Structure 1
């Protein structure tokens, strides 16, 4: 679906400038409030899918949505929706049939010891934007909705974008229910313990959006270094994620000669070195990362019998991702053969590069010019839920600067002034699509 079929025409006016009482919107204070759910001793936030902190945060958000005049509801996956109902049915769609809502939002799960802005900013801004529009402009013509997606990071289970994948129908519970976290808890157990799943009584996750708009921190240095307030995302990189397993033979560290060893960890280390070399040779913008390594039996005086490492490959062109993976797999196989090791791999994620909707991005550009906000069109090097939504509904992303480009870290920070600039753009865009003729 490439054309943005929204009944707000191209000539629809935006709200009169300046937006009334915008300075009273307390974005930072609500972000600080949300960060108390999962606050850790390292100064960051840890909210993993279906854990206690995550559950408390989602339910607290549901209560907050209700307090702000929205209608909250969960689905079976644990995605939370706050709805501002419109008063118009779909033109040409039949009497009483509601138009698909215009939706904004992001995710509330975090990485371990993450920051308070990643994902949460888009959720909080969405809640406050709908409250602002309701208070100042009344009932919209078209239904507007904010979604607090249950999961995006893949930090607990080896599967990312569960929230958006379940909504779009890209994945179902049967595909992930067998996955286990590091404590051995299955996905099926975790979703049930959190009060969700097919027997929870909540509605099914899959449904239709009229459009999806995601406001997000950049998580990089481009906007800050170039001095721009807004990044209008042109496309989102594709990526592949793998678990690579190397199997050798456990043996005594003192009595086994080096040349006779089948050392799984030594083999994995050489493979990881090959990852860096191949990525550097491929050149920018390709990036490849090994972020997790485990070894068994994990004893200092025993040769490792098994080693597992993660692999993440990203690029804006699918052919470059595929070629890099094949080069790495060839190198891994060669190393395994040379050291008499067994090699296995499992692909956990494969997402193609995705361009954003041209009409919505053009409207974002018009808003930036009207608001006199400096902007650039830029790709996103990080994956986002927007790349899952774009194939099924018109989708766009708005970036605001990240200080020093730091993210997935307690030091993650965006100045309140920059948060508010992104908020202004979101409010104007939702007004156009929700209140326009």
Structure 2
């Protein structure tokens, strides 16, 4: 198979200019001018390569290579075009570039596939502009709801619907049937972690995406004078938070991998040097590949929070606002990809994804698998996000092998 490294470098350079941040990195948020320009540039590239292009109601972009024998069976591949604010140029974007490169190579080498191949540049995944995630993939599978976004705004108070209409898009008509032609979805993504790099592997075959539980916790005590309030009289919510944080993280460490627990945001009030903090708001993010373990562990943490609060004479309000189940990848596709890795002597390992991806939206509805390539130092959502060119090349190669198996062989129809 060809060396994709020169094409990877060229593709990344021209697409990364769209939304490039003057301070480094890139910012390409849903329905902004940068987002529009990126989708138009990709459409032009798809057109030039001889793919049939289209955009759906919300702005997902597709480039299609129609199958000669089973045109209504679509092997879909791609990722999301949006970024976080001041992010890197691989998260999402590389998955689109790689899918396009792989399909173009297969077209030029083997001609028309048996089943239709389609690259997708998904409109949105990150939730960076509006408080809503997976807008692109949720619209494709039909799980997006108009009422969920009608009243949300970005940091500049721009309404979601107004931004969508200004960009030339609208809600998917309720009368429009959900796509039923997608036979499989394959997503290539950077790992955004250090497992592959640490173990010296080039490819990760993803078996599942972790479940997540996220909380907002509000501790209510009593604000009082820092100099005149004896320690034994205090209802100090920062002290309560510190106990909760310490005990919870120690419990998570004892639980062991693959459970992870994060206290990501802490806001004490009045947050001044000479007042005992009477109110503290903080968040918890807990993830695991097994739903029962995730629920059991987080229930224990909830009980610990209430116990500590009670011991200190304060109250705790616990709001579980995200409860996402772990999502397994398709076993047959995982086995197929593993076999292809072995046949092509790829240095790979089976692994789970600790981050959320569009694949978790597709997987409950169509056979889905993910391919990971290493991230240097595990850095992502950062201008320093980087992967060695040889690893990017290996990722495109394994994606091309997978798409060939699914779209060009009769056996691909059995997966």
Q: Give the TM-score normalised by the residue count of structure 2.
A: 0.85
Say whether 1:72 aligns with 2:53. yes
Give 1:315 deviation, angstroms: 0.7
**Secondary structure, aligned partner of 2:398:** helix
Deviations 1:63-94 (A, max 9, x none): 322222222322233322221222334xxxxx
**Secondary structure, aligned partner of 2:402:** helix
- Mean alpha-carbon deviation: is it higher for 306-315 or for 266-275? 266-275
Say whether 1:292 aligns with 2:273. no
Tell me what 1:427 maps to: 400
Give 1:124 deviation, angstroms: 0.7
Give 1:152 deviation, angstroms: 2.3
RMSD of aligned alpha carbons: 3.1
Deviations 1:350-375 (A, max 9, x none): 32222222222222223223322222
Structure 2 segments unaligned to the other structure (5+ residues)? 411-415
**Secondary structure, aligned partner of 1:224:** helix
Deviations 1:380-401 (A, max 9, x none): 2222221221111111111112
- Work out which of the residue numbers 33, 41, 44 in structure 1 matches 2:25: 44
- Whole-angstrom CA distance in 2 between matches of 1:203 and 1:131: 34
Tell me what 1:327 maps to: 300
Tell me what 1:345 maps to: 319
Give 1:321 deviation, angstroms: 1.0
- Work out which of the residue numbers 105, 108, 121 in structure 1 matches 2:78: 105
Deviations 1:88-124 (A, max 9, x none): 34xxxxxxxx523100111122233322112211111
Tell me what 1:151 maps to: 124
Equivalent pair of 1:74/1:202 in contact (CA under 8 Å): no
Say whether 1:383 aligns with 2:356. yes
Paired residues, what number?
Answer: 407
Give 1:335 deviation, angstroms: 4.4
- Whole-angstrom CA distance in 2 between matches of 1:313 and 1:205: 36
- Whole-angstrom CA distance in 1 between matches of 2:382 and 2:349: 25
Equivalent pair of 1:46/1:112 in contact (CA under 8 Å): yes
**Secondary structure, aligned partner of 1:240:** strand
**Secondary structure, aligned partner of 2:72:** coil
Change in 2 beyond 3 A, CA 1:205/1:121: farther
Tell me what 2:171 maps to: 198
Equivalent pair of 1:76/1:204 in contact (CA under 8 Å): no
Say whether 1:131 aligns with 2:90. no
Q: Give the TM-score normalised by the residue count of structure 1.
A: 0.81
- Mean alpha-carbon deviation: is it higher for 110-119 or for 188-197? 188-197
Change in 2 beyond 3 A, CA 1:58/1:289: farther
Tell me what 1:122 maps to: 95
- Whole-angstrom CA distance in 2 between matches of 1:325 and 1:136: 52
- Mean alpha-carbon deviation: is it higher for 31-40 or for 271-280? 271-280
Tell me what 1:207 maps to: 179
